[in-house]
């Protein structure tokens, strides 16, 4: 009987936990309202200028008579045939700087992630510290560091390093300043934190027990690095190289301050076209060509490295 | 498999200290080749540290580790013929199951691994999953990959660090039997670390109960359960009723003890403490060894059995048995488990009962230790208060 009465008893009151119904009315629009400022920002400061630049790149005319859209795509061809050496140089310098950043940044990121212990935060702050000063000032400081007859050049000279670099064609005579070496050094220095931070993040996430497991399975410390640590840090390597390579290939400050007329990169050309020669169509076309080139290279790179989950 | 003890694991005077804290006190331990050996203890008792010292992941502060004749104390992990199944498996997330299992073979420069890996995956019933990544498998499957990855190297010793800790109860039971089957099949020495006494007893041939960096007692599961030598072991493995008693006399291999106003008999061979007349010992008995008779039928209790009177304070029916808590003059919470064969309807809370058991099921322990060592709440002030209450 007892069980029967229990069975007939009304069901217990609905649980207090809120049910997961999609919000109705105004509530449903909240995510879109939250998106609105960001979308507006992108529209005004990214999409519109892009469209404006795109239209500029196919205009013809002169400063006096004004520019008109004439769908003059020949500007692109002209820009490319005229300035391909600067394009190539950009890729070369940015690529060298990226490789140098990786070689310098990886050991440091590894050290911070696995060996730094309680010094970890301090070292991370030191990595970011240069950002507290302006990019321009830091690059100008390198001008002093690499100055002719300065201690760095003197030391390199007495160690006969300059003989080697001179033979390689990246320095000229007793000078480091105004040579490709100086530009690449500046780029490396300026973009190094962008390499270290993603590398650190992905290394830091690796479970330390995987190292123990690899050792337990007969892997020497070096093999453990080659087969476990490095593959697992690939997302950091890819995002680090992208964050270094992309801004470095468009940079003009380093080439401007540390380089010479022979080390001009595509960024310098664009800057000159826009601000000195005032040839807006060519400058706009060069900008789009650079963008396209970077997009293609990045796509190929991501395909090749097979990393779907960036960052 | 050789029987010349060439594969024994021998720990001699091994210890580990961190600063002033001794995680493992110097201990000697021999794990015979081919055995399933369990290190059992609560968390922080030093069992995992001991295991890691065998694996080479932790350097001992003193003492040596030998495998057979070889002293491996100073060898790095990758040079030891030992493999570990880690607590959270530590599978390589970027490699598929096949490559995870093949990892050890490849590191030793073995070229054709396919046949061996396939066989090993079949052994752990994961042949179909070879090309999946670890995160695509369930917890139980990952656990089996971890076992396969270690076993394929045919180590002299397989170390298992709480390998079933992350699994739910049902799966854990299943994996216990599975591991036991695999061990029997491959005949490799297994050293298993666990805090689960049931797990240790189900799987291991020999169990070492560890407490505070020391081995409390070592023996077969049955031996440990039936003849605990310390209150820690008595309480940590299953449940024990412990009574403080005074030695009254000794006669013919039996000790007669005074507990409250009654007398109890204890075979001398089952008393691990020195029993001198007038001295004190702790008398223990397991709850399932006790029979429960209603006070009205007290005359039916056979002569020669140890008996204690009390009053039932609580009962709980758990299917195969009914558990009673009985308040007696010598112990306020006497646990009694009675098989549900013929239930006496008079045995309800408040009923006066006689507890009785065969003297052969009684064990004696040194009275100079905490009654509550090894129980769930045995720490700090509470213990002291409870102990005071018991006395």
> Residue B317 has what DSSP assignment?
E
pLDDT at B178 over 60: yes
Check CB contact under 8 Å for A217 and B82.
no
| CA-to-CA dists, residue B372 to A155, B108, B237, B282, angstroms | 74, 50, 13, 12
Q: What's the mean pLDDT in A151-180?
A: 88
Which of B83, B91, B94 minimises the CB distance to A216? B83
DSSP string, chain A: -HHHHHHHSPPPPPPSSPP-PPPPTHHHHHHHHHHHHHHHHHIIIIIHHHHHHHHHHTEEEETTTEEEE---THHHHHHHHHHHHHHHHHHHHHHHHHHHHHHHHHHHHHIIIII-GGGHHHHHHHHHGGGGS-HHHHHHHHHHHT-TTSHHHHHHHHTTHHHHHHHHTSSBTTB-TTSHHHHHHHHHHHHHHHHHHHHHHHHHTS-HHHHHHHHHTT--HHHHIIIIIHHHTHHHHHHHHHHHHHHHHH--HHHHHH--GGG--HHHHHHHIIIII--HHHHHHHHHHHHHHHHHHHHHHHHHHT--S--
Q: Left (φ > 0), alpha (ψ -120 to 50) or beta: where does B284 sit?
A: beta
Q: Which sequence spans correspond to the domains of chain B?
A: 9-226, 240-390
- Output the pLDDT for position A21: 58
B119 SS3 class = helix
Q: How many Å apart are CA B231 and CA B373, to the nearest integer?
A: 6
Residue A16 has pLDDT above 80, yes or no: no
- The shortest C-alpha distance from B181 to chain A (Å) reads 23
CA distance B51 to B63: 14
**How sure is the predictor about A19, in pLDDT bands with cuts at 50, 70 and 90?**
low
Neighbours of B120 (CB within 10 A): 25
Confidence of residue A107 (pLDDT cuts 50, 70, 90): very high
Confidence of residue B250 (pLDDT cuts 50, 70, 90): confident
The closest alpha carbon to B71, from B60, B86, B83, belongs to B60
Instruction: For domain A97-264, give the CATH superfamily.
Output: MetI-like (1.10.3720.10)
* B209 contacts B224 by C-beta, under 8 angstroms: yes
Question: How much is the pTM?
Answer: 0.80
Average pLDDT over residues A91-100: 96
Judge whether B338 and B292 are in contact, CB under 8 Å.
yes
Would you state the structure tokens that stand for residue A113, as one six-digit string?
């992630």
Percent of chain B with pLDDT over 70: 94
pLDDT at B63 over 90: yes
Looking at the DSSP bridge assignments, the partners of residue B271 are B364
The helix (H) or strand (E) run that includes residue B48 is helix B47-55
- Tell me how many degrees the CA angle A6-A8-A9 measures, rounded to the nearest 5: 65
B63 close contact with A: CB closer than 8 A: no
> Interface pTM (ipTM) of the complex?
0.80
| Superfamily classification of domain B9-226 | P-loop containing nucleotide triphosphate hydrolases (3.40.50.300)
Mutate one of A216, A221, A230 to test the B interface: name it (highest B CB count within 10 A): A216
Q: Which residue of B has its CA nearest to A307?
A: B94
> Which residue(s) pair with B214 in the sheet?
B211
- For A241-263, the pLDDT digits (tens) are 999 999 999 999 999 999 998 89
Distance CA(A98)–CA(B162), nearest Å, equals: 45
Q: pLDDT category, A2, cuts 50, 70, 90?
A: very low
- Which helix (H) or strand (E) covers residue B324, if one does? strand B321-328
How many Å apart are CA B353 and CA B349, to the nearest integer?
A: 10
pLDDT tens, B99-110?
999 999 999 999
Instruction: Report whether pLDDT(A227) > 90.
Output: yes
Provide the CB-side half-sphere exposure for B364 (13 A, CA). 27
Q: What is the mean pLDDT of residues A10-23?
A: 52
Closest chain B residue by Cα to residue A306: B94
User: Can you give the C-alpha Rg of chain A in angstroms?
Assistant: 28
Low-confidence winner among A31-35, A67-71, A134-138, B86-90 (lowest mean pLDDT): A67-71
8 Å CB contact of A228 and B92: yes
Both tokens of B30, joined, read: 């021999």
Set of chain B residues whose Cβ sits within 8 Å of the Cβ of A219: 78, 103, 107
DSSP state letter for B34: T
User: Count of alpha carbons within 13 Å of A77, Cβ hemisphere only?
Assistant: 4
Query: Pick from A214, A221, A247, A218: which is nearest to A110 by CA?
Result: A221
A151-158 vs A161-168: helix axis angle to the nearest 10?
90
Angle, vertex CA B196, rays to CA B190 and CA B202, nearest 5: 55
B85 — phi, psi (to 5°)?
Answer: -105, 115
Domain spans of chain A, in order of start: 97-264
Q: What is the DSSP letter of B220?
A: -
Q: How far is CA B75 from the centre of its chain?
A: 30
High-pLDDT (> 90) share of chain B, %: 60
- Residue B158 and residue B271: Cα distance in Å, rounded? 36
Note the pLDDT of residue A5: 42
Backbone phi and psi for residue A6, each to the nearest 5 degrees, phi listed first: -65, -40
Q: For residue B389, what pLDDT is reported?
A: 37
Confidence of residue A9 (pLDDT cuts 50, 70, 90): very low
> Contact B351/B319 with Cβ under 8 angstroms?
no
Contacts of A152 (CB under 8 A, 6+ apart): A145, A146, A176
CB contact under 8 A, A216 and B78: yes
* Residue A51 structure tokens: 């469209």
Q: Over range A189-196, report the average pLDDT.
A: 95
Enter the tokens of residue B232. Answer: 């820690």
Counting residues of chain A whose pLDDT is more than 70, the rounded percentage is 90
- Asked whether residue B381 carries a pLDDT value surpassing 50, the answer given is no
pLDDT tens sequence across B225-238: 999 999 999 999 98
C-alpha distances (whole Å) from B388 to each of A187, B174, B376 are 75, 43, 18
pLDDT value of residue B336? 93
pLDDT digits (tens, 9 = 90+) for A262-308: 899 999 999 999 999 888 999 999 999 999 999 999 999 988 886 55
| pLDDT score for B253 | 84
A122 has pLDDT over 60: yes
pLDDT in tens, B270-324: 888 887 888 889 999 999 999 999 999 988 888 889 989 999 999 999 888 999 9
Chain B positions touching A218 (Cβ under 8 A) are 78-79, 104, 107-108, 153
Would an 8 Å CB–CB cutoff place B103 in contact with chain A?
yes
pLDDT more than 90, % of chain A: 67
Chains A and B form CB pairs within 8 A to the count of: 59
Q: What does the block give as tokens for B72?
A: 């491996």
pLDDT band at B380 (very low <50, low <70, confident <90, very high): very low
Least confident piece of the model among A30-39, B71-80, B164-173, B303-312 = B164-173
Q: CB neighbours (10 Å) of residue A178?
A: 20
For residue B79, which residues of chain A lie inside 8 Å, CB to CB? 218
Question: Among residues B20, B14, B100, which one has the least CA distance to residue B49?
Answer: B14
Looking at chain B, which residue has its C-alpha nearest residue A212?
A: B57
CATH node for B240-390? 2.40.50.100
- Per-residue pLDDT of B200-225, as tens digits, reads 998 999 999 999 999 999 999 999 99
The C-alpha atoms of residue A281 and residue A73 are separated, in whole angstroms, by: 10
Q: Is the pLDDT of residue B5 over 70?
A: no
Is pLDDT of B158 > 90?
yes
Phi, psi of B218 (to 5 degrees): -130, 135
pLDDT at B132 over 90: yes
Contact between A214 and B103 using a beta-carbon 8 Å cutoff = yes
Q: Which chain B residues are closer than 8 Å to A223 by Cβ?
A: 107
Q: Residue B25 burial by CB count (10 A; 0-12/13-18/19+): exposed, middle or buried?
A: middle
- CA dist B213 and B261 (Å) reads 39
The span from the CA of B265 to the CA of B251, in Å, is 10
Where does the pLDDT of residue A172 fall: very low under 50, low under 70, confident under 90, or very high at 90 and above?
confident
Rounded to an integer, the average pLDDT of B176-185 is: 89
Q: Which residues of A touch B76 (CB under 8 A)?
A: 215
A148 touches chain B (CB under 8 A): no
CA–CA separation, A226 and B92 (whole Å): 13
């Amino acid at each position: 009987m007892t069980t029967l009465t229990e069975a007939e008893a009304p069901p217990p009151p609905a649980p207090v936990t809120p049910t997961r119904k999609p919000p109705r009315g105004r509530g449903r629009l909240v995510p879109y309202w939250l998106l609105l400022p960001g979308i507006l920002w992108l529209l005004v400061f990214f999409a519109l200028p892009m469209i404006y630049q795109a239209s500029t790149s196919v205009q013809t005319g002169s400063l006096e008579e004004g520019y008109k859209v004439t769908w003059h795509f020949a500007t692109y061809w002209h820009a490319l045939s005229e300035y391909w050496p600067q394009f190539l140089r950009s890729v070369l310098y940015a690529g060298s700087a990226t490789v140098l950043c990786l070689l310098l940044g990886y050991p440091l990121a590894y050290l911070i992630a696995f060996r730094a212990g309680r010094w970890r935060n301090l070292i991370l702050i030191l990595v970011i510290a240069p950002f507290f000063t302006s990019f321009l000032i830091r690059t100008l400081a390198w001008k002093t560091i690499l100055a002719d007859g300065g201690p760095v050049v003197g030391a390199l000279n007495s160690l006969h390093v300059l003989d080697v670099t001179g033979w390689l064609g990246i320095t000229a005579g007793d000078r480091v300043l105004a040579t490709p070496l100086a530009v690449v050094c500046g780029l490396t220095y300026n973009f190094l934190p962008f390499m270290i931070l993603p590398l650190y993040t992905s290394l830091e996430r690796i479970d330390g027990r995987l190292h123990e497991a690899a050792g337990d399975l007969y892997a020497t410390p070096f093999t453990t690095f080659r087969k476990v640590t490095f593959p697992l840090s690939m997302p950091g390597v890819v995002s680090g190289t992208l964050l270094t390579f992309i801004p470095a290939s468009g940079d003009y400050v380093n080439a401007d301050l540390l380089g010479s007329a022979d080390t001009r990169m595509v960024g310098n050309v664009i800057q000159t076209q826009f601000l000195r020669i005032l040839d807006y169509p060519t400058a706009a076309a060069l900008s789009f060509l650079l963008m396209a080139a970077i997009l293609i290279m990045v796509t190929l790179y991501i395909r090749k490295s097979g990393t779907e989950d960036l960052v | 498999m050789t029987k010349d003890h060439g594969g024994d694991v021998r720990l001699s005077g091994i210890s580990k200290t961190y600063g002033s804290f001794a995680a493992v006190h110097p201990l000697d331990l021999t794990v015979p080749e081919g055995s399933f050996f369990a290190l059992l203890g609560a968390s922080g008792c030093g069992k995992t540290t001991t295991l890691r010292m065998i694996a080479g992941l932790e350097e001992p502060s003193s003492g040596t580790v030998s495998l057979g004749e070889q002293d491996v104390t100073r060898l790095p992990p990758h040079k030891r013929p030992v493999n570990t199944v880690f607590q959270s498996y530590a599978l390589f997330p970027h490699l598929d199951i096949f490559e995870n299992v093949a990892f050890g073979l490849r590191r030793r420069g073995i070229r054709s691994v396919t046949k061996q890996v396939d066989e090993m995956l079949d052994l752990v019933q994961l042949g179909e999953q070879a090309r999946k990544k670890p995160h695509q498998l369930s917890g139980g499957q990952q656990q089996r990959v971890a076992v396969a990855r270690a076993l394929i190297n045919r180590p002299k010793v397989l170390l298992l660090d709480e390998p079933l800790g992350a699994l739910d109860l049902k799966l854990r039971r299943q994996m216990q039997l599975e591991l036991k089957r695999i061990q029997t099949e491959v005949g490799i020495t297994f050293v298993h670390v666990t805090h689960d006494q049931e797990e240790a007893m189900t799987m291991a041939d020999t169990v070492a109960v560890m407490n505070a960096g020391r081995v409390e007692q070592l023996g077969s599961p049955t031996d440990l359960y039936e003849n605990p030598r310390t209150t820690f072991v008595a309480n940590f493995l299953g449940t024990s009723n412990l009574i403080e008693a005074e030695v009254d006399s000794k006669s013919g291999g039996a000790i007669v003890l005074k507990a409250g106003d009654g007398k109890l008999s204890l075979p001398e061979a089952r008393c691990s403490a020195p029993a001198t007349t007038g001295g004190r010992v702790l008398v223990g008995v397991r709850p399932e060894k006790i029979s429960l008779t209603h006070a009205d039928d007290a005359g039916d209790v056979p002569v020669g059995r140890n008996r204690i009177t009390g009053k039932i304070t609580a009962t709980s029916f758990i299917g195969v048995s009914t558990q009673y808590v009985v308040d007696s003059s010598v112990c306020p919470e006497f646990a009694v488990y009675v098989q549900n064969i013929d239930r006496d309807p008079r045995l309800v809370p408040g009923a006066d009962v006689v507890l009785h058991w065969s003297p052969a099921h009684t064990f004696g322990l040194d009275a100079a230790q905490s009654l509550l060592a090894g129980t769930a709440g045995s720490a700090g002030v509470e213990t002291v208060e409870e102990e005071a209450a018991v006395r």
